[in-house]
Amino acid sequence: MRNEFLPGGRSCVLVVEDDPAIRLLAVDILSDVGFETMEAGDAAQALEALNNSEHKIDVLFTDLRMPGMNGLELALVAKRKHPQLRVIVTSGDYGKDLPPGAKFLAKPWCASDLLRVAA
């Protein structure tokens, strides 16, 4: 399965996850099918990447439960500054009160689940 999200190009996913093993797994899965990836360990790093990256970030894939600013707060702030940003929120808890258009991915997820919501 190749990444066809952007015609003539590859879309970039910013993976935000405080657990390094889960973050690496998501980055590996997405990279293997052609997504460009960036990663952040928390919301502050994610906002820095969104606001200062040389690359256009198309998708924010964030954990809901993180220390400090949680994934929902991050998604809301990110969507205000970047309204075209696609958002995927993941958690072991039910994803409620998501920003308009955001998708929810329940943990534990598998590669096919991640690719389905990222496409």
The answer, yes or no, to whether residue 95 has pLDDT greater than 70, is no
Q: Residue 40: what pLDDT?
A: 97
User: pTM of the entire structure?
Assistant: 0.82
Least Cα distance to 23 among 41, 48, 36 occurs for 41
- Residues 16 and 38: beta-carbon distance below 8 Å: no
The pair of structure tokens assigned to 16 is 């935000």
Which is more confident, 108 or 9? 108
- Residues 95 and 64: beta-carbon distance below 8 Å: yes
Average pLDDT in the 73-78 region? Answer: 94
- Please tell me the least confidently modeled range out of 2-11, 36-45, 110-119: 2-11
CATH class of the structural domain 12-118:
alpha beta
